[in-house]
Every structure is written in structure tokens, then in C-alpha cells.
């Protein structure tokens, strides 16, 4: 599915594993976002609002998704053109047997003018195409 694949999503550093890792995680997020904007300079000069989407496969021991957003959003807000982030979402993806124990974190950008949730849009798309004759 395009929502979960390149070039629309970008891998971020591994989620903190132990208490006290938050400061290093915040620095690593800042560095990753800086590298992302250096690689894709358009992110710093967008002319349309965007939605920031954080796709999270939580670590084996679980993770508070609110804390993920609190750690990631300041770095993203600083890197992306001021005022162009209209909203954000954190989407928890179910763990699969092949997922690393530390979990996964990916950053995606979506349509900041569309108030519908990204998850809802993806499921609507799948349902619409499952009912039609033109399966992918």
C-alpha cells in the first residue's frame, strides 16, 4: 500500500527503550528530520498545508503513542515550512512476527486540507476497490 512505502514515508530513529532515552531520542529525531529536509529541500518551502502522519509499530513491551508525538512533532515543526502543518496523526500498526523488538517509526506527509483521517481514507479506498472488478 502506498501509505506504507517509499517515497511517501521516511524511517525515523528507533523508539526509546528505557527511561531516560527520551533526550537522546529527541536529538536523533531532530538529526533525522534535518537530514530529510536536506535531502528533500521542498519540505522547507511548501506552499500548502500538510498533515504529519506518524506510523508506529510499537516495541514488544508497548509504548505510549502520545509520548511519541510529543517527542517527534517539535523537530518536524521546526524543519517544515512555518505554519504549513495543519494537523498530525499517530497511527499504531499491529506488530507482526517479523517486526523488530524495538518497534518501527515512520514519518509520512499527507493532505493538510483534507480533515478525514488517513487510516479512514486508506480503509475506504481498500473497501471501494475490494467491491469492484478492478482489483489491483
Ordered by start, the domain boundaries in the chain are 2-130
Rounded to two decimals, the pTM is 0.76
Q: For residue range 80-98, what is the model confidence (pLDDT) as tens digits?
A: 776 788 889 998 888 899 9
CATH (residue range 2-130): 3.30.1330
Q: For residue range 96-115, what is the model confidence (pLDDT) as tens digits?
A: 999 888 888 998 888 888 87
Alpha-helical segments (H) within the chain: 22-39, 65-79, 118-130
> What span, in angstroms and rounded, lies between the C-alpha atoms of 62 and 103?
9
Amino acid at each position: 500500500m502506498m501509505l506504507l512505502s517509499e517515497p511517501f514515508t521516511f524511517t525515523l530513529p528507533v523508539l526509546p527503550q528505557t527511561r531516560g532515552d527520551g533526550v537522546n531520542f529527541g536529538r536523533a529525531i531532530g538529526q533525522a528530520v534535518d537530514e530529510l529536509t536536506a535531502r528533500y529541500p521542498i519540505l522547507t518551502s511548501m506552499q500548502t498545508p500538510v498533515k504529519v502522519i506518524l506510523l508506529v509499530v510499537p516495541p514488544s513491551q508497548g509504548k505510549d503513542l502520545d509520548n511519541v508525538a510529543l517527542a517527534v512533532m517539535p523537530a518536524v515543526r521546526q524543519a517544515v515550512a512555518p505554519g504549513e502543518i495543519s494537523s498530525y496523526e499517530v497511527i499504531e500498526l499491529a506488530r507482526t512476527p517479523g517486526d523488530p523488538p524495538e518497534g518501527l517509526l515512520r514519518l509520512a506527509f499527507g493532505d493538510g486540507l483534507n480533515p478525514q483521517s488517513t487510516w479512514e481514507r486508506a480503509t475506504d479506498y481498500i473497501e471501494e476497490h475490494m467491491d469492484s472488478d478492478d482489483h489491483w
